[in-house]
Amino acid sequence: MPAVPDIPSEQDTVDTSGAQASILMVEDTTALAAVYHEYLVRDGHQVTLAATGQAALQVLAAAPPALILLDIRLPDIDGMEILDRVRQEHPHLPVVVMTADGSVNLAVQAMRRGAYDFLVKPFSADRLLVTVGNALERLRLQEMVEIYRERIARPRFHGFIGASLPMQTVYELIQNAASSKATVFITGESGTGKEICAAALHQEGPRSGEPFVAINCAAIPHELMESEIFGHVRGAFTGAIADRAGAAARANGGTLFLDEICELSPDLQGKLLRFIQTGSYERLGGTRAEQSDIRIVCATNRDPLQEVRAGRFREDLYYRLHVIPIHLPPLRERGGDVLEIARHYLARFTAEENKHLLHYTAEAEQLLRSHAWPGNIRQLQNVIRHVVVLNDGDAVTADMLEQALTPAPGRDAGESPPPSPSGSNGTGQATTMPEIRPLRILEQEAVLRAIEHCDGNVPRAAALLEVNPSTLYRKLQSWRANAD
């Protein structure tokens, strides 16, 4: 006959997520305890026996089990009192009460006070194992529901807004990948929040207290990109009047985010590959190797594999970077998230503009949900700001949104129209006069507007303007120099 211990050791309990379950049996009849113990052990469970109520409470305090089999009549403490203690301290812990024949009313009372089920002694092995199995299965399902509820009830995650299932998947990927040093490759359409994703990876991980450095590879001329990433020494090129640390040095210990990485030139792709492999680099114009310990996160709105097939992106670099892929869903696939995001930015922009638009009408919400949002969250932001700036009142209507979504000639959707200058026609009536500005200003505005429209992608803006990308890079450099 097995001994009846008072308090279990660490070996007497197991993780409830495994195949076995730890069970506490509170039974003062030694012979019955031995029989039921044998039934449960043969079924693969780990069982701790307690002959008194006080011993059972000590077990609960030391290591709560996955299930309790509780005799209602004990020599020292009323079993109902123990049941009440369990319900108060461990509300999700299932309790199956055991009672003698003729005490069924007592068992029913126990069920009303929170017991999962009851067994009338004596009972067979099958009856015991079915009851225990059902109780443990219910516990497992409860735990799964709690996990899913926590995930789905998470409407925000760092800079993200939205509780849709696609975004819950993204949040889970970020949490799982954050602690690793492996490179993360973020893909998704423009405006889906790739930099927010990179920042969340940094903030969730062990490097959160170190620098987070972001570079948009499409917004910097190719000839300056190497210096931007790796730095340069004095005299490396015209205008390099002093040594300058690059992003690799500034991000040391932290995270380097390379947005639009497919814009890197082939030669720089090779240098980046070597840096990823060795952690070593040289500044532009320098001869001394430097080391940097960084986690690299990159992103693109293109299909990276298509870029590899087209010969524009190195295959070996792709596989070095594409270790943990995260795809951000477009706004049109995120269901009700669009309303939560729209409400957030309405509150933010009305506060910034000192307006009083407090909510959306039902028709406006329907329009928000049905629109395709090709520009994703960035387009939604622009549309809402447009509405807030040009309207007043208590509610945003569908008409307001439609006006913002319908671009005027020469203006993108969501972009506020420029003020029209007025003059006189000599009869005292105001008339609209064309604004005449220098051609160089118009050219600069057209170029910058095209680059903004393409989300900083200079080659794409050059294609729309039907000029060579190098022409735009030279103009950008010239304008920056004049601005300085």
CATH number for 156-329 (one of 3.50.50.60, 1.10.10.10, 3.40.50.300, 3.30.43.10): it is: 3.40.50.300
Q: Which residue has the higher pLDDT, 408 or 6?
A: 408
Q: State residue 441's pLDDT score.
A: 76
**C-alpha distances in Å from residue 393, one per residue of 82, 342, 350, 360, 398:** 61, 17, 11, 11, 14
For residue 425, name the pLDDT band (cuts at 50, 70, 90).
very low
Q: Is the pLDDT of residue 13 over 80?
A: no
Q: What is the mean pLDDT of residues 258-272?
A: 95
Q: Per CATH, which fold does 332-405 belong to?
A: Helicase, Ruva Protein; domain 3 (1.10.8)
Q: For residues 324 and 299, give the distance between their C-alpha atoms in angstroms, rounded to a whole number.
A: 12
Q: Looking at 161-175, 257-271, 397-411, 413-427, which range is the least confident one? A: 413-427
Percent of the residues in the chain that have a pLDDT greater than 70, as a whole number: 85
Cβ atoms of 321 and 208 closer than 8 Å = no
For residue 322, name the pLDDT band (cuts at 50, 70, 90).
very high
Q: Is the pLDDT of residue 244 over 70?
A: yes
Q: For residues 215 and 230, give the distance between their C-alpha atoms in angstroms, rounded to a whole number.
A: 12
Q: Is the pLDDT of residue 437 over 70?
A: no
What are the pLDDT digits (tens) for 328-358? 999 999 999 999 999 999 999 999 999 988 8
What pTM value is reported for the model?
0.59
Q: Which of 456, 453, 467, 472 is nearest to 410 (CA)?
A: 453
What are the pLDDT digits (tens) for 50-61? 999 899 999 888
For residue 241, name the pLDDT band (cuts at 50, 70, 90).
confident
Paired sense of beta strands 95-100 and 67-71, if any: parallel
Q: Which residue has the higher pLDDT, 455 or 476?
A: 476
Q: State residue 409's pLDDT score.
A: 53
240 burial level (CB within 10 Å; 0-12, 13-18, 19+):
middle
Q: Is the pLDDT of residue 411 over 80?
A: no
Q: State residue 357's pLDDT score.
A: 87
Q: State residue 381's pLDDT score.
A: 95
For the domain 10-149, what is the CATH superfamily, name and number? Response regulator (3.40.50.2300)
Q: For residues 24 and 287, give the distance between their C-alpha atoms in angstroms, rounded to a whole number.
A: 70
Q: For residues 90 and 86, give the distance between their C-alpha atoms in angstroms, rounded to a whole number.
A: 5
Q: For residues 459 and 219, give the distance between their C-alpha atoms in angstroms, rounded to a whole number.
A: 10
Q: State residue 216's pLDDT score.
A: 93
Assigned CATH for 436-483: 1.10.10
Q: What is the domain partition of the chain in residue ranges? A: 10-149, 156-329, 332-405, 436-483
Note whether 10-149 and 332-405 share their fold.
no
Q: State residue 245's pLDDT score.
A: 93
